[in-house]
């Protein structure tokens, strides 16, 4: 699969990341600032759906020429961030401060940028009324409405902006890890995917697991995971996990002095009755009977 196609799929899946949307919501509530993610071609995820845009920016984007100017500005600084490989704090074409943090995968390929902005930096001089009128004229907007919206923009101190940069870098590390995991799973063929899932279950069988949780961890759909399990192993995901837990339980019953209830818990069964039913179904005896016969 071509690198660009894989990156496009990864970008689409990042847009569905719940944590990324939660980060955006929290930051908007705290500072009135929105964050977003720009794909390598400059396309924005639009995490807020435009609902939490700064009114000033939102009004400018209502104009065809204004929206084009904003998009060109985003693309320019995303490219600058990619080439410099450094975070950028800059003043956009309409006079507000924006931030662009470039992200690179483990191979050094540019995968996009975390962005935030649409605020006044307290150390910078605000635009004058005449400057706002010039912008309004350029984009055929009402000057009074644009100036009022501009004055509503949030203000950040230098300390707050530095903290925001730190926060964006934390988000960036999460996105980079997510992106790399998605790429890994997209590149693996079916047998390799199954082996990765089996190793994961080997390390986590004691936890409460569902096919949805495991599929999400590997950035594939639960339906696809169920399909490849059935196709490659001729067993359902649920039966495989139960068999794995029974196998681990048999080892503990033979090699340890742990109680049956302790082994039930350590092997990820919801209750001792569930453990007993599963054990008897697979081995035609109870855990206690198995221990008595095999110790």
**Which residues are within 8 A (CB) of 112 and not within 5 positions of it... i.e. 6 or more apart?**
11, 37, 38, 39, 40, 78, 102, 103, 175
Domain ranges of the chain: 3-185, 190-294
The listed CATH number (3.40.50.2300, 1.10.10.60, 3.90.580.10, 3.40.50.1580) that belongs to domain 190-294: 1.10.10.60
Give the DSSP H or E segment for 117: strand 110-121
CB atoms within 10 A of CB 166: 9
Q: Taking every pair of C-alpha atoms in the chain, what is the biggest distance, in angstroms?
A: 91
Asked whether the beta carbons of 102 and 109 are under 8 A apart, the reply is no
Distance CA 18, CA 287 (A): 41
- Which residue matches tokens 């693996």? 188
Instruction: Check whether 147 has a pLDDT greater than 50.
Output: yes
Instruction: Check whether 49 has a pLDDT greater than 60.
Output: no
- Which residue matches tokens 């190793």? 199
Would you tell me the crossing angle of helices 237-255 and 222-233 to the nearest 10 degrees? 70
**Per-residue pLDDT reduced to its tens digit, 84-115:** 999 999 999 999 999 999 988 877 888 888 88
Instruction: Check whether 32 has a pLDDT greater than 60.
Output: yes
Distance CA 160, CA 164 (A): 6
Alpha helices in 139-271 (DSSP H): 143-151, 158-187, 190-204, 211-217, 222-233, 237-255, 260-266
pTM assigned to the model: 0.64
Distance CA 152, CA 204 (A): 50
pLDDT band of residue 2 (cuts 50, 70, 90) is: very low
Helix (H, G, I), strand (E, B) or coil at 91: strand
The candidate with the shortest Cα–Cα distance to 203, out of 268, 251, 262, is 268
**Per-residue pLDDT reduced to its tens digit, 58-87:** 899 999 999 999 989 988 998 999 999 999
- Which residue matches tokens 């807020």? 48
DSSP structure class, residue 62: T
Instruction: Check whether 45 has a pLDDT greater than 70.
Output: no
Instruction: Check whether 17 has a pLDDT greater than 70.
Output: no
The residues with which 110 forms a beta bridge, in sequence order, are 104
Q: What is the mean pLDDT of the chain?
A: 85
The residues with which 162 forms a beta bridge, in sequence order, are none
Which tokens hold the place of 41?
Answer: 């071609």
Mean per-residue pLDDT for 6-25?
64
CA neighbours within 13 Å on the CB side: how many for 155? 8
The candidate with the shortest Cα–Cα distance to 94, out of 47, 138, 53, is 138
């Amino acid at each position: 699969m071509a690198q660009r196609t894989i990156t496009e799929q990864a970008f689409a899946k990042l847009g569905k990341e719940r944590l990324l949307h939660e980060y955006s919501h929290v930051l908007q509530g705290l500072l009135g600032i929105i964050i977003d993610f720009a794909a390598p071609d400059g396309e924005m995820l639009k995490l807020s759906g435009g609902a939490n845009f700064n009114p000033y920016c939102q009004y400018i984007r209502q104009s065809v020429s204004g929206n084009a100017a904003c998009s060109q500005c985003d693309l320019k600084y995303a490219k600058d961030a990619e080439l410099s490989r450094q975070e950028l704090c800059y003043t956009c074409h309409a006079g507000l401060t924006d931030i662009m943090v470039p992200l690179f995968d483990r191979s050094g390929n540019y995968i996009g940028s975390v962005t935030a902005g649409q605020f006044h930096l307290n150390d910078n001089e605000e635009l004058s009324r005449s400057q706002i009128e010039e912008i309004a004229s350029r984009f055929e907007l009402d000057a009074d409405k644009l100036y009022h919206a501009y004055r509503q923009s949030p203000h950040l101190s230098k300390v707050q902006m530095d903290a925001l940069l730190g926060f964006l870098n934390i988000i960036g590390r999460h996105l980079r890890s997510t992106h790399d995991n998605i790429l890994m799973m997209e590149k693996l063929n079916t047998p390799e995917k199954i082996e990765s899932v089996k190793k994961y279950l080997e390390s986590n069988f004691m936890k409460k697991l569902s096919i949805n949780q495991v599929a999400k961890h590997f950035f594939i759909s639960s339906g696809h995971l169920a399909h490849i399990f059935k196709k490659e192993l001729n067993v359902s995901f649920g039966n495989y996990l139960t068999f794995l837990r029974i196998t681990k339980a048999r080892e503990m019953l033979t090699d340890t002095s742990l109680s049956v209830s302790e082994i039930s818990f350590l092997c990820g069964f919801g209750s001792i009755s569930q453990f007993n039913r599963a054990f008897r179904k697979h081995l035609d005896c109870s855990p206690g009977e198995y221990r008595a016969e095999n110790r």
